[in-house]
Amino acid sequence: MIDLSNENIIHVKNNGLEYIQFRRLLEYKELVHCFTLKPLDFGDNSNYEQKKDIVTKNYKLICNELGIDYSNIIRPYQTHTNNVEEVKTKTGIFLKEYTNIDGLITNKTNKALSLTFADCTPIYLYDPVKKAIGNIHSGWQGTVKQIAKSAINKMVQTYNSNPKDIICAIGPTIRKCHFEVEDDVKNLFTNQFSNIQNIVTLGDVKDGKQKYYIDTVKINKSMLMEMGLREENIIDSNICTVCNYNLMHSYRKEGKDAGRNTSIIMLK
Protein backbone atom coordinates (compact mmCIF):
# COMPACT_ATOMS: atom_id res chain seq x y z
CA MET A 1 0.00 0.00 0.00
CA ILE A 2 1.46 3.33 -1.07
CA ASP A 3 1.52 6.02 1.61
CA LEU A 4 2.05 9.61 0.41
CA SER A 5 2.47 10.98 3.94
CA ASN A 6 5.47 13.25 4.50
CA GLU A 7 6.49 15.99 6.90
CA ASN A 8 3.75 18.29 5.56
CA ILE A 9 0.85 15.99 4.74
CA ILE A 10 -1.03 12.95 6.00
CA HIS A 11 -2.38 10.35 3.58
CA VAL A 12 -5.68 9.26 5.13
CA LYS A 13 -7.24 5.88 4.33
CA ASN A 14 -10.58 5.46 6.06
CA ASN A 15 -13.96 3.87 5.28
CA GLY A 16 -12.73 2.91 1.82
CA LEU A 17 -11.81 6.53 1.02
CA GLU A 18 -8.36 8.02 0.45
CA TYR A 19 -7.43 11.69 0.69
CA ILE A 20 -4.66 13.90 1.96
CA GLN A 21 -4.66 16.59 4.62
CA PHE A 22 -2.06 19.15 5.65
CA ARG A 23 -0.58 18.75 9.12
CA ARG A 24 -0.40 22.53 9.54
CA LEU A 25 -4.06 23.09 8.66
CA LEU A 26 -5.11 20.27 10.99
CA GLU A 27 -3.78 22.38 13.87
CA TYR A 28 -6.81 24.66 13.46
CA LYS A 29 -9.89 22.89 14.84
CA GLU A 30 -12.20 25.39 13.13
CA LEU A 31 -10.99 24.20 9.71
CA VAL A 32 -12.08 21.23 7.63
CA HIS A 33 -10.10 20.39 4.49
CA CYS A 34 -8.90 17.66 2.17
CA PHE A 35 -7.60 16.81 -1.29
CA THR A 36 -9.29 13.68 -2.64
CA LEU A 37 -7.56 10.74 -4.29
CA LYS A 38 -8.73 8.00 -6.64
CA PRO A 39 -11.10 6.34 -7.15
CA LEU A 40 -13.21 9.40 -6.22
CA ASP A 41 -13.98 11.43 -9.35
CA PHE A 42 -15.76 14.80 -9.41
CA GLY A 43 -16.13 15.29 -13.15
CA ASP A 44 -15.22 18.31 -15.26
CA ASN A 45 -17.16 21.09 -17.00
CA SER A 46 -17.81 18.98 -20.09
CA ASN A 47 -19.02 15.79 -18.46
CA TYR A 48 -20.54 16.88 -15.15
CA GLU A 49 -24.11 16.34 -16.33
CA GLN A 50 -23.30 12.82 -17.56
CA LYS A 51 -21.46 12.01 -14.33
CA LYS A 52 -23.80 13.92 -12.02
CA ASP A 53 -25.04 10.87 -10.10
CA ILE A 54 -21.50 9.59 -9.54
CA VAL A 55 -20.23 13.05 -8.61
CA THR A 56 -23.08 13.60 -6.15
CA LYS A 57 -22.43 10.20 -4.58
CA ASN A 58 -18.71 10.98 -4.26
CA TYR A 59 -19.36 14.40 -2.74
CA LYS A 60 -21.70 12.82 -0.19
CA LEU A 61 -19.07 10.19 0.66
CA ILE A 62 -16.29 12.69 1.29
CA CYS A 63 -18.63 15.15 3.02
CA ASN A 64 -19.82 12.41 5.37
CA GLU A 65 -16.21 11.49 6.08
CA LEU A 66 -15.30 15.10 6.90
CA GLY A 67 -18.49 15.93 8.80
CA ILE A 68 -19.72 18.37 6.16
CA ASP A 69 -23.32 18.82 5.06
CA TYR A 70 -23.34 18.11 1.30
CA SER A 71 -25.79 20.99 0.78
CA ASN A 72 -23.04 23.39 1.88
CA ILE A 73 -20.76 22.61 -1.09
CA ILE A 74 -19.93 25.55 -3.39
CA ARG A 75 -18.21 24.69 -6.65
CA PRO A 76 -17.55 27.26 -9.37
CA TYR A 77 -17.46 26.75 -13.13
CA GLN A 78 -13.69 26.91 -13.64
CA THR A 79 -12.25 28.23 -16.91
CA HIS A 80 -8.57 28.97 -16.10
CA THR A 81 -9.17 32.63 -15.23
CA ASN A 82 -7.70 34.76 -12.47
CA ASN A 83 -11.18 35.61 -11.18
CA VAL A 84 -11.74 35.21 -7.43
CA GLU A 85 -15.22 35.56 -5.93
CA GLU A 86 -16.46 35.93 -2.37
CA VAL A 87 -18.98 33.39 -1.12
CA LYS A 88 -21.64 34.87 1.16
CA THR A 89 -24.85 32.90 1.23
CA LYS A 90 -25.68 30.75 -1.80
CA THR A 91 -24.32 27.22 -2.12
CA GLY A 92 -24.43 24.73 -4.96
CA ILE A 93 -22.55 23.46 -8.00
CA PHE A 94 -22.09 25.66 -11.10
CA LEU A 95 -24.27 28.52 -9.84
CA LYS A 96 -24.49 31.35 -12.40
CA GLU A 97 -22.72 33.83 -10.12
CA TYR A 98 -19.72 31.48 -9.96
CA THR A 99 -19.25 31.09 -13.73
CA ASN A 100 -15.72 31.73 -15.03
CA ILE A 101 -14.43 31.71 -11.45
CA ASP A 102 -11.25 29.90 -10.41
CA GLY A 103 -10.95 31.06 -6.82
CA LEU A 104 -13.34 31.35 -3.90
CA ILE A 105 -12.96 33.13 -0.56
CA THR A 106 -15.26 33.39 2.45
CA ASN A 107 -15.38 34.26 6.12
CA LYS A 108 -18.69 32.48 6.61
CA THR A 109 -18.96 29.19 8.47
CA ASN A 110 -20.36 26.06 6.83
CA LYS A 111 -19.47 27.17 3.31
CA ALA A 112 -17.48 24.26 1.85
CA LEU A 113 -15.39 25.67 -1.00
CA SER A 114 -14.67 22.98 -3.58
CA LEU A 115 -12.52 23.19 -6.72
CA THR A 116 -11.44 20.42 -9.08
CA PHE A 117 -8.05 19.43 -10.45
CA ALA A 118 -6.20 17.06 -12.76
CA ASP A 119 -2.60 18.46 -12.63
CA CYS A 120 -3.40 22.12 -11.95
CA THR A 121 -2.23 23.63 -8.67
CA PRO A 122 -4.57 23.67 -5.65
CA ILE A 123 -3.87 26.58 -3.30
CA TYR A 124 -5.55 26.60 0.12
CA LEU A 125 -5.52 29.88 2.06
CA TYR A 126 -6.34 30.53 5.70
CA ASP A 127 -6.18 33.72 7.72
CA PRO A 128 -6.45 32.59 11.37
CA VAL A 129 -6.68 36.19 12.58
CA LYS A 130 -9.60 37.36 10.42
CA LYS A 131 -11.03 33.82 10.18
CA ALA A 132 -11.21 33.78 6.40
CA ILE A 133 -10.39 31.05 3.88
CA GLY A 134 -9.64 30.73 0.19
CA ASN A 135 -9.54 27.90 -2.34
CA ILE A 136 -7.70 28.58 -5.60
CA HIS A 137 -7.35 26.70 -8.91
CA SER A 138 -4.07 27.78 -10.47
CA GLY A 139 -3.44 25.91 -13.70
CA TRP A 140 -0.53 27.02 -15.87
CA GLN A 141 -2.80 29.65 -17.44
CA GLY A 142 -4.00 30.82 -14.05
CA THR A 143 -0.41 30.97 -12.87
CA VAL A 144 0.56 33.16 -15.83
CA LYS A 145 -2.47 35.34 -15.01
CA GLN A 146 -1.27 35.46 -11.37
CA ILE A 147 -4.45 34.21 -9.73
CA ALA A 148 -2.55 33.68 -6.46
CA LYS A 149 -1.94 37.43 -6.28
CA SER A 150 -5.59 38.11 -7.14
CA ALA A 151 -6.67 35.89 -4.25
CA ILE A 152 -4.42 37.58 -1.69
CA ASN A 153 -5.53 41.02 -2.91
CA LYS A 154 -9.17 39.94 -2.58
CA MET A 155 -8.65 38.74 1.00
CA VAL A 156 -6.86 41.97 1.91
CA GLN A 157 -9.59 44.12 0.36
CA THR A 158 -12.55 42.08 1.60
CA TYR A 159 -11.45 41.01 5.07
CA ASN A 160 -8.59 43.41 5.80
CA SER A 161 -6.29 40.40 5.99
CA ASN A 162 -2.62 40.96 6.68
CA PRO A 163 -0.66 38.75 4.24
CA LYS A 164 1.83 38.00 7.01
CA ASP A 165 -0.97 36.16 8.83
CA ILE A 166 -2.13 34.07 5.87
CA ILE A 167 -1.22 30.40 5.76
CA CYS A 168 -0.98 28.81 2.33
CA ALA A 169 -0.96 25.10 1.50
CA ILE A 170 -0.05 23.94 -2.01
CA GLY A 171 -1.64 20.64 -2.97
CA PRO A 172 -0.59 17.91 -5.40
CA THR A 173 0.11 19.30 -8.85
CA ILE A 174 2.15 18.63 -11.97
CA ARG A 175 5.73 19.38 -10.97
CA LYS A 176 8.71 20.59 -12.93
CA CYS A 177 9.70 16.96 -13.56
CA HIS A 178 6.69 16.53 -15.87
CA PHE A 179 5.52 20.01 -16.93
CA GLU A 180 7.12 19.84 -20.37
CA VAL A 181 6.35 22.71 -22.77
CA GLU A 182 7.55 24.24 -26.03
CA ASP A 183 8.70 27.76 -26.87
CA ASP A 184 5.23 29.34 -26.91
CA VAL A 185 4.36 28.46 -23.32
CA LYS A 186 7.94 28.87 -22.11
CA ASN A 187 7.98 32.41 -23.46
CA LEU A 188 4.75 33.29 -21.66
CA PHE A 189 6.37 32.32 -18.37
CA THR A 190 9.74 33.94 -18.95
CA ASN A 191 8.13 37.18 -20.09
CA GLN A 192 5.69 37.31 -17.17
CA PHE A 193 8.14 36.20 -14.49
CA SER A 194 11.46 37.63 -15.62
CA ASN A 195 12.12 38.60 -11.99
CA ILE A 196 12.10 34.97 -10.76
CA GLN A 197 15.29 33.00 -11.27
CA ASN A 198 15.64 29.39 -12.43
CA ILE A 199 12.04 28.63 -13.31
CA VAL A 200 12.91 26.99 -16.66
CA THR A 201 15.09 23.95 -17.30
CA LEU A 202 16.18 23.01 -20.81
CA GLY A 203 14.81 19.67 -21.97
CA ASP A 204 15.44 17.50 -25.01
CA VAL A 205 14.69 18.16 -28.67
CA LYS A 206 11.76 15.97 -29.71
CA ASP A 207 10.43 15.81 -33.26
CA GLY A 208 12.58 18.81 -34.10
CA LYS A 209 11.13 20.91 -31.28
CA GLN A 210 13.01 22.13 -28.22
CA LYS A 211 11.34 21.16 -24.95
CA TYR A 212 11.47 22.95 -21.59
CA TYR A 213 10.38 22.20 -18.04
CA ILE A 214 8.62 24.90 -15.99
CA ASP A 215 8.52 25.13 -12.18
CA THR A 216 5.05 26.55 -11.53
CA VAL A 217 5.22 25.74 -7.81
CA LYS A 218 8.28 27.93 -7.39
CA ILE A 219 6.52 30.68 -9.33
CA ASN A 220 3.45 30.53 -7.09
CA LYS A 221 5.58 30.53 -3.94
CA SER A 222 7.51 33.55 -5.21
CA MET A 223 4.29 35.43 -6.04
CA LEU A 224 2.84 34.70 -2.60
CA MET A 225 5.99 35.92 -0.84
CA GLU A 226 5.98 39.00 -3.05
CA MET A 227 2.46 39.65 -1.75
CA GLY A 228 3.76 39.50 1.82
CA LEU A 229 3.23 35.90 2.90
CA ARG A 230 5.93 34.51 5.16
CA GLU A 231 7.98 31.71 3.63
CA GLU A 232 7.40 29.56 6.72
CA ASN A 233 3.63 29.93 6.19
CA ILE A 234 3.74 28.42 2.70
CA ILE A 235 3.44 24.66 3.05
CA ASP A 236 4.04 22.44 0.03
CA SER A 237 2.64 18.92 -0.33
CA ASN A 238 5.71 18.09 -2.46
CA ILE A 239 3.60 15.68 -4.50
CA CYS A 240 3.52 15.43 -8.30
CA THR A 241 0.20 14.32 -9.76
CA VAL A 242 1.84 12.81 -12.84
CA CYS A 243 4.35 10.79 -10.81
CA ASN A 244 1.43 9.52 -8.74
CA TYR A 245 -1.24 9.15 -11.43
CA ASN A 246 -2.10 5.72 -10.04
CA LEU A 247 -3.42 7.53 -6.94
CA MET A 248 -4.72 10.80 -8.38
CA HIS A 249 -6.19 12.04 -11.64
CA SER A 250 -3.71 13.51 -14.13
CA TYR A 251 -4.69 15.10 -17.44
CA ARG A 252 -1.09 15.05 -18.65
CA LYS A 253 -0.97 11.28 -18.12
CA GLU A 254 -4.56 10.24 -18.84
CA GLY A 255 -5.72 12.84 -21.36
CA LYS A 256 -9.39 13.59 -21.99
CA ASP A 257 -10.40 10.50 -20.02
CA ALA A 258 -8.88 11.88 -16.82
CA GLY A 259 -11.20 12.32 -13.87
CA ARG A 260 -10.94 15.17 -11.37
CA ASN A 261 -9.72 15.36 -7.79
CA THR A 262 -11.33 17.95 -5.55
CA SER A 263 -9.91 20.25 -2.90
CA ILE A 264 -12.28 21.21 -0.11
CA ILE A 265 -11.85 23.77 2.67
CA MET A 266 -14.50 24.99 5.13
CA LEU A 267 -14.77 26.99 8.35
CA LYS A 268 -16.81 25.26 11.03
Per-10-residue mean pLDDT of the chain, 268 residues long, equals: 95 96 98 98 96 97 98 98 97 97 98 98 98 98 98 98 98 98 98 97 96 98 98 98 98 96 98
Q: Which strands form 132-138's sheet, in the order they lie side by side?
A: 84-86, 103-106, 132-138, 121-127, 167-170, 234-236
At 1 the pLDDT is 78
CATH topology of domain 9-173+233-267: CNF1/YfiH-like putative cysteine hydrolases (3.60.140)
- Distance, in Å, from the CA atom of 81 to the CA atom of 12, rounded to the nearest integer, reads 31
Sign of the Cα pseudo-torsion (20, 26, 31, 32, in order):
positive
Q: 9 Cβ partners below 8 Å, 6+ apart?
A: 20, 21, 22, 23, 237, 238, 239
pLDDT for the residue 203: 97
pLDDT at 265: 99
Residue 79: the pLDDT is 98
Question: pTM of the full predicted structure?
Answer: 0.97
